Structure 1
Amino acid sequence: MSRATVSSVNVRRPLLYVIVGAVLALAGSLVPASRPAAGGAAEPPAQAVPGVGAPSPAPCTEVEDSLRPGPLPPPGAMPVGSTMAAIAERGRLRAAVDQGKYRVGFRNPATGELEGFDIDVARAIAQAIFGDPDRIQFVVVDIADRASVVASGQADVTVNTFTVTCARQQVVSFSAPYLTATQRLLVPRGSGIREIEDLAGRTVCTSAGSVTVDVLRRTDGVRVVALPGIPDCVVELQAGRVQAVSSDDVVLAGLAAQDPQTEVVGRALDSARYAVAVPKGADDMVRFVNGVLERARADGSLEASRRAWLGEVLDPLPTIPPPAYRD
């Protein structure tokens, strides 16, 4: 079976990202995806004013561990009535991904195929359901829509450098983390910027809906611009409209590898743990994905993918964290 093409893309995102050394252009037949209506945000809405409208939800205080995996059924034999059986009946897994993060989730300009570490994780889930990693429909989304695209039913999973947070767990359910990362800065070489404090009075760009926004806004004197995706920020950096881009080292290292006029600098501003998001309450799918990840850890395929995609651009490599389960 040939590789599945992207059949859904958010057209609010620019269709061309100019990154020195590579052009991540759309390939194949693309059909615009419906963007979730206002209110379908990546993070839960602000709490209501006490005494007005709906009661305020309980405060979100800590991240909970994921669900323990159960036995993996053979491909093509998903339990009757399960979330996985519904996906199997449709004939394809719908996976929300990115196409602009080099070596993590990106479109290979030579082949038109989506590739990278996150793409390998998504294909492993399709393999476990169908026995065929190509039975997959990639849904390309803005970072801010990673939760809402799953919550609204437009995708079955999100595999898109998606960090587990307490607030996001109110909207979607997460697998156990499959990779760690640290937040740093991408700057032009020779800029003199080495740490976040050097950006006082200057502008740094990051992706809307990401946890990096809050981290950056805690630094006095730094102006923060949030755009749909990190490639959009890189365009602003190259045009001189911002002086730095901040994101996870996994993402920034790929960008620096494409543009030799930039470099990754600074101490770790925060840490992140990437996990697969599924619809809230789909506990069977959470356990199934965790089973897929457990097997990938055990057979070495997750480690092999990590080294193949990230080993040439990051030293030290991000770690694959041991899973922790709540039951």
Structure 2
Amino acid sequence: MSNYRKAQRSFWVSVCCLGLSSLALAGDRLDQILEKNEIVIAHREASVPLSYLDNGKPIGYSLDICHAVVESLKKQYKRPNLTIRYLVVTSQTRIPAIAEGKADLECGSTTNTAERRQKVDFTIPHFISTAKFLVRKADRIQKIEDLRGKTVVSTQGTTNIKTLHKQNDERVLNLNILESKDHAEGFRFLVEKKVDAFAMDDILLYGLRASAANPDDYEVIGKPMTIEPYAIMLPKNQKRLKAVVDGEIARMITSFEIYTLYKKWFESPIPPRGINLNVPMSFLLRDSFKFPTDKVND
């Protein structure tokens, strides 16, 4: 066989493989889950109290909601032995994990944005956070203007990085902006005094503060810079799977079951250290629960 014929054959084999891969991703995700009798749930390592690890086990508010979805799938499709396979993701890998078909659902602390909806779909929001700063109390920083000329960190792959750069440009703050690989590293930078503030969603900051050796040494400050509606991510254009997830979340909201779940994770002692975040449900979240919908204001 000539080199030309070999190259031509290799090309068409590659095209066929790519086509089969695309078909697999484009197929009905719910059918694939039922056929495999397995659902893959992506989760975070340190998004307390929404999605994190306790002795290697994924737990949290978002995980409990996803577990309820799995139970709904078991009942609706008579799959009592449907198993869960967990996949750890980061701020950088969570969207590719869903878009590329590595996971069926992402149950973490991901904000529904117009940019992200180009690659993935989102369900009804189950939490609403706002972007603020975590600082050392001894530094007496109370507002964003107090950070002028100082060093601030935020996590790679989050909406907070973009917000921070925008605030810096609009307010001419002359910030030195660093990017951490994850929330834990960002908080460690603050503890080690490598930065003056950590910009992130307030609920995650409360979780990090509560996990510190001396929580009273830190405080969450500033006016909300953005509103962050958290929702479960799933592959794009998977209407049947989305209907199941949205249906279960709507049921949890209208039955008030979600309020009990909220109290469990935000107003009660939580693993691993029995810390109580004492974060009452915000009026924004309460209002969103009055009329459950996947539509959000971008």
Q: Is the 8 A contact 2:105 2:233 kept in 1?
A: yes
Structure 2 unaligned spans of 5+? 1-26, 268-275
Residue in structure 1 matched with residue 46 of structure 2 by the alignment: 100
Residue in structure 2 matched with residue 62 of structure 1 by the alignment: none
1:233-272 to 2 correspondences below 5 Å: 233-259=186-212, 260=215, 261-272=217-228
1:153-164 to 2 correspondences below 5 Å: 153-164=101-112
Residue in structure 2 matched with residue 88 of structure 1 by the alignment: 34
> Quick one: which amino acid aligns to residue 262 of structure 2?
R
Partners of 1:265 and 1:193 in 2: CA distance? 8
Residue in structure 2 matched with residue 196 of structure 1 by the alignment: 144
Residue in structure 2 matched with residue 296 of structure 1 by the alignment: 252
Which of 154, 167, 177 is equivalent to 2:125?
177
Partners of 1:250 and 1:133 in 2: CA distance? 35
Which of 176, 179, 203 is equivalent to 1:226?
179
Q: Which stretch of structure 1 is more off in the superposition, 207-216 or 305-314?
A: 305-314
Q: Percent identical across equivalent pairs?
A: 24
Larger CA Rg, structure 1 vs 2: 2
Q: Which stretch of structure 1 is more off in the superposition, 169-178 or 215-224?
A: 215-224
Partners of 1:137 and 1:159 in 2: CA distance? 13
Q: Is the 8 A contact 1:196 1:266 kept in 2?
A: yes
Which runs of structure 1 show a deviation greater than 3 angstroms over 4 or more consecutive aligned residues? 131-134
Question: Tell me, what secondary structure is at the counterpart of 2:223?
Answer: strand
Q: Which stretch of structure 1 is more off in the superposition, 163-172 or 112-121?
A: 112-121
Question: Tell me, what secondary structure is at the counterpart of 2:209?
Answer: helix
Query: What is the Cα-based RMSD across aligned positions, in Å?
Result: 2.0
Which of 130, 150, 155 is equivalent to 1:207?
155
* Cα 1:325–1:274 shift into 2, 3 Å: closer
Residue in structure 2 matched with residue 281 of structure 1 by the alignment: 237
**Between Structure 1 and Structure 2, which shows a larger proportion of helix residues?**
2
| Count of residue correspondences | 244
Per-residue Cα deviation, 1:45-99 (whole angstroms, up to 9, x for no partner): xxxxxxxxxxxxxxxxxxxxxxxxxxxxxxxxxxxx8522321222222111112
Q: Is the 8 A contact 1:94 1:136 kept in 2?
A: yes
Q: Is the 8 A contact 1:99 1:140 kept in 2?
A: yes
Q: Is the 8 A contact 2:29 2:104 kept in 1?
A: no
> Quick one: which amino acid aligns to residue 194 of structure 1?
Q
* Cα 1:265–1:238 shift into 2, 3 Å: same
Partners of 2:81 and 2:251 in 1: CA distance? 15
> Quick one: which amino acid aligns to residue 257 of structure 2?
S
What is the CA distance between 1:154 and its match in structure 2? 0.6
Question: Tell me, what secondary structure is at the counterpart of 1:278?
Answer: strand
Partners of 2:278 and 2:179 in 1: CA distance? 25
Per-residue Cα deviation, 1:82-140 (whole angstroms, up to 9, x for no partner): 5223212222221111121222112124xx42211111122112111225698322211
Q: Is the 8 A contact 1:184 1:249 kept in 2?
A: yes
Partners of 1:121 and 1:325 in 2: CA distance? 15
Q: Which stretch of structure 1 is more off in the superposition, 270-279 or 215-224?
A: 215-224
Q: Is the 8 A contact 2:39 2:82 kept in 1?
A: no
What is the CA distance between 1:308 and its match in structure 2? 0.9
Residue in structure 2 matched with residue 119 of structure 1 by the alignment: 63
Residue in structure 2 matched with residue 165 of structure 1 by the alignment: 113
> Quick one: which amino acid aligns to residue 240 of structure 2?
D
What is the CA distance between 1:201 and its match in structure 2? 1.2
TM-score (norm 2): 0.76
Structure 1 unaligned spans of 5+? 1-80
Q: Is the 8 A contact 2:142 2:221 kept in 1?
A: yes
